[in-house]
Amino acid sequence: MSELVAQLIWNGLVTGALIALVALGLTLIYGVAGFIQFAHGEMVALGAYSFMVMHKLVGWDIFPSAFAAVCFIIIVGLLFEKVFFRPVRDADPMIPLVISIGLSIGLQALILIFWGPNILTISDTSFRSLSLFGGKILATPSQIWAVILSLLLMIGTTIFLHKTKIGKSLRAVASNRNVAEVFGINVDTSMTWIFGVGAGLAAISGIFLGFEQNLEPMMGVIIAIKAFSAVILGAVGSVRGAIIGAFLIGLSESLLVGLGIIPSGFTAAIPFVILIGMLLLKPEGLFGKRFQSLRQ
């Protein structure tokens, strides 16, 4: 029993780490640009697919192809910001949200046309599972990498936001765009940074997700929807809130289903049941008062 629980906690941590990377980008974009980027999930999917292309079709090693995939997605993210979101930056926040919904369905359709509806996998190069803690937990190297790297990226992002000049200017824009502009902060540059960082984090999450599951056009939406819940769960715009929300969702999915408390058919509903329950009890978000690291 304790082995099962330990294994489930490990699986939950892996899922949570992958959701957290997506949620981190979403919450940063929400904080600075002021809208929920619906097409963020497609960045995850595109990350996974471009890694698959570099690794399996072109035949590069894992690390160079991961690097190439992340760079490619960052460029896509920056282009999106420039072409689609910059012109409507000062409009009603509804408008960029609707545009990102359009981008989301368009990109999914493009993935479907390019790669077809067939389910693809990356993990035939799969490494053997390792046993940790004296055989209590089975974990693949990619899972260990995912957890360690995402923790490092989360710490790195927090340091970036609080200690560097660019990070501080991003927080200033998030707090009040007009005042920041008056003080000479370039809002265009801030937007470029935030969309670049967000897309890069999503791509990394996508690559790891590709090792965990099959590639399919909808894979991005599925994780993005969990990330939306994580972002709202932790209080929109808050970095630590989103990360904690993501791990909460990952762990509760894994534990509730794994221990048979909830039938596996209901897995997809878990994040939202937690979310809606939380919104009713504490509408300002789990960490609404304490952790407004981006807004303040």
Among residues 138 and 273, whose Cβ is nearest to another protein? Answer: 273
Work out how close the CB of 244 gets to another protein at its nearest, in angstroms, rounded to a whole number. 17
Among residues 132 and 279, whose Cβ is nearest to another protein? Answer: 279
Alpha-carbon separation of residue 165 from 138, 161, 162, 190, 294 (angstroms): 42, 8, 8, 11, 14
The total of other beta-carbon atoms located within 10 Å of residue 218's CB is 13
Work out how close the CB of 95 gets to another protein at its nearest, in angstroms, rounded to a whole number. 5
Among residues 75 and 276, whose Cβ is nearest to another protein? Answer: 276
The total of other beta-carbon atoms located within 10 Å of residue 192's CB is 16
Work out how close the CB of 252 gets to another protein at its nearest, in angstroms, rounded to a whole number. 14
Among residues 111 and 137, whose Cβ is nearest to another protein? Answer: 111
Alpha-carbon separation of residue 72 from 41, 44, 50, 54, 102 (angstroms): 15, 12, 8, 11, 21
62 contacts: CB under 8 Å, gap ≥ 6: 55, 125
Work out how close the CB of 137 gets to another protein at its nearest, in angstroms, rounded to a whole number. 29
What per-residue string of b and e applies to 45-55 under the rule 16 or more CB within 10 Å gives b? Answer: bbbbbbbbbbb
The total of other beta-carbon atoms located within 10 Å of residue 2's CB is 7
Work out how close the CB of 129 gets to another protein at its nearest, in angstroms, rounded to a whole number. 30
Among residues 169 and 229, whose Cβ is nearest to another protein? Answer: 229
Work out how close the CB of 217 gets to another protein at its nearest, in angstroms, rounded to a whole number. 9
Rounded Cα distance between 119 and 289, Å, is 43
Work out how close the CB of 271 gets to another protein at its nearest, in angstroms, rounded to a whole number. 7
Among residues 114 and 133, whose Cβ is nearest to another protein? Answer: 114
Contact residues toward another protein (CB under 8 A) are 30, 35-36, 84, 87-88, 91-95, 97-99, 101-103, 105-106, 108-110, 112-113, 116-117, 221, 225, 228-229, 231-232, 236, 263, 265-266, 268-269, 271-273, 275-276, 279-280, 283
The total of other beta-carbon atoms located within 10 Å of residue 144's CB is 14
* Residue 123: closest CA among 14, 212, 217, 62: 212
Among residues 132 and 225, whose Cβ is nearest to another protein? Answer: 225
Work out how close the CB of 142 gets to another protein at its nearest, in angstroms, rounded to a whole number. 28
Amino acid of residue 251: L
Among residues 114 and 183, whose Cβ is nearest to another protein? Answer: 114
161 contacts: CB under 8 Å, gap ≥ 6: 167, 168, 170, 171, 239, 293, 294
Alpha-carbon separation of residue 293 from 71, 224, 283 (angstroms): 27, 22, 18
